[in-house]
Amino acid sequence: MNIDFECTMCGNCCHDLRLPLTLAEALAWLARGNEVQVLCEALPWPEEPAADNLQAAHKRRRSFAAMSGSLPARIVVILTGAFAGPCPNLQPDMRCGIYEARPLVCRIYPAEINPFIALDPAGKACPPEAWQPGRAPLLRGGQLVDAATADLIQRSRAADSADAPAKQALCALLGIDVAALANEGFVVHSPPRAALLAALQQVNAAASVSDAAAGATGTAPEATKSDDLPVWRFASNRRATVNTLESVGALGAWVDPAGAMPFEYLGFYPAAA
Ligand code: SF4
Ligand code: SF4
């Protein structure tokens, strides 16, 4: 597949977002006075997949191990800069006010970070004229032409993996232990800014110390005994999902659309009692 692309500076991609951030970027985002939310999804993980299951390996790298009742699970935590309307860093002329320090995801867009998602212009915020043939080559034979963007994608994936243990510690500090079933939605936690900033600073400092002690990579081995793993609940707005999860030993949480919950549930499907 070949795709040509040039940014038209329309600013569409800087509006109404939950912008995925690395741990360091989330710290900077909060320090600028902006909001960060914590999105959580959980994957049932009854056994380790085969070594040649590349999708499972990708999910494993960016998650941490947990138990939900008697069901092993893996938890994916995504820190996001959240805003309705224009990004707080967007200037009136549609230029980025923190261009030199903008998050990786902004530098990479409209390319895809997830290696299992193919770039589809129809799914992007860019107008049709940005994709006209004859603009700068973006993909040739399905591969990114720009080596710098490819490098940014690798950095983003590496940060996603390296941040997973710190995100586990962050959730423990903040008492976050509910996630949506992966592919059904996300549970969105919105801790108070001051508490989130303090917790992020604490886990970031601990990660730096652990990096130094481990000789830079800082990837401490994961706990493997179920008693040592954090306990998480699966939330769903579909009663059948909760029932199915509970039937295999998991801890389920029914999200009643009419009820008050200490989190927001972003479901991909309509609620079903
Ligand atoms: S940080 Fe800059 S590039 Fe990223 S969404 Fe905000 S204004 Fe746009
Ligand atoms: S939506 Fe696309 S064309 Fe518009 S500013 Fe963002 S990257 Fe550029």
Q: Is the CB of 108 under 6 A from ligand 1?
A: no
Q: Is the CB of 106 under 6 A from ligand 1?
A: yes
C-beta atoms surrounding 203 within 10 Å: 22
Q: Which two tokens stand for residue 229?
A: 């793993």
CA–CA separation, 238 and 273 (whole Å): 6
Cα 87 to ligand 1 centroid, rounded to whole Å:
6
Q: Give residue 142's region: left, alpha or beta (phi > 0; psi -120 to 50).
A: left
234 DSSP β-pair partners: 179, 252
Tell the residue nearest (CA) to atom 4 of ligand 2: 10
Q: Of ligand 1's atoms, which has the minimum distance to the CA of residue 99?
A: 2
Cα 260 to ligand 1 centroid, rounded to whole Å:
33
Tens place of pLDDT for every residue, the chain, 273 residues? 899 999 999 999 999 999 999 999 999 999 999 999 999 999 999 999 999 999 999 999 999 999 999 999 999 999 999 999 999 999 999 999 999 999 999 999 999 999 999 999 999 999 999 999 999 999 999 999 999 999 999 999 999 999 999 999 999 999 999 999 999 999 999 999 999 999 999 999 988 776 666 555 445 567 767 889 999 999 999 999 999 999 999 999 999 888 888 999 999 999 998
Tell the residue nearest (CA) to atom 1 of ligand 1: 102
- Ligand 2: residues with CB < 6 A are 7-13, 109-110, 125-126, 130
Q: Of ligand 2's atoms, which has the minimum distance to the CA of residue 94?
A: 5
